[in-house]
Amino acid sequence: MSIAVIDYGSGNLRSVEKAFEKLGFQAEITKDKAAIRGAKGVVLPGVGSFDAAIKELRAFGLETAIEEAIALGKPFLGICLGLQHLFETSEEGKEKGLGILKGKVKKFNFSDTPWSELSVPQMGWNRLLFRHRAPIFEGIEEGEMLYFAHSYYVVPEDEMAVATVTDYGIEYVSSVWKDNLFGIQFHPEKSGPMGLKIIENFGGLCK
């Protein structure tokens, strides 16, 4: 197996797998720890609530497999909720995150601000502004539009881990990068040609 797409009850598994396959990469949805260890790259997608999803992940015993994959230097990509799970805590629930990256997850709150008309969740297209250009963004121009669907955003302690920010009432972190670890808040599988380019770039790292 080239790329393992971790199965823990997330809703967008098949669309992520199909995006890799469309680009010629071998990908497989799996909850098998041995398969994850044997993969050349690992993807943690996610749709749903923080607590419910992290409980499912731990129920399947996948926390250790994720930690091992990252420690072994495998390219690792967290998408949307999969990005948020990499952090320590979330305002969405009471469960602890994986804590692979230091920081927390906060909810958009625009009440009593000039941006109170902004809807939560943010649903739709928004721009990426680069802080540190990660390898998965090779060929992506400043200001490209990607598709977002989320009510929460990550707040890393390490500013050097911030790859991009996005403006939605506030300037928030929309992707992170640390060594072989990548995390993106947007959905590349729903983001047209630019999203496929990011998936292709990640797939190219899984050799």
Task: Name the catalytic one among 17, 144, 189, 200.
Answer: 189
Distance of alpha carbon 146 from alpha carbon 1, whole angstroms: 28
Please indicate whether residue 159 is annotated as part of the active site.
no
**Amino acid letter at 97?**
G
Task: Name the catalytic one among 17, 85, 144, 187.
Answer: 187
- Per-residue burial over 105-130, b if 16 or more Cβ lie within 10 Å, else e, is bbebeeeeeeeeeeeeebeeebebeb
Beta-bridge mates of residue 3 = 27, 41
Task: Name the catalytic one among 80, 85, 144, 150.
Answer: 80
Beta-bridge mates of residue 183 = 78, 176
Please indicate whether residue 206 is annotated as part of the active site.
no
- Per-residue burial over 155-171, b if 16 or more Cβ lie within 10 Å, else e, is ebeeeebbbbbbebbee
Q: Which of 120, 141, 128 is nearest to 177 (CA)?
A: 128
* Residue 83 structure tokens: 């990005």
Q: Cα separations (Å) of 153 from 91, 164, 185, 202?
A: 10, 12, 8, 22
* Residue 126 structure tokens: 């928004």
Please indicate whether residue 132 is annotated as part of the active site.
no
DSSP assignment, residue 157? S
* Residue 198 structure tokens: 């990011």
- Active site positions, annotated: 80, 187, 189
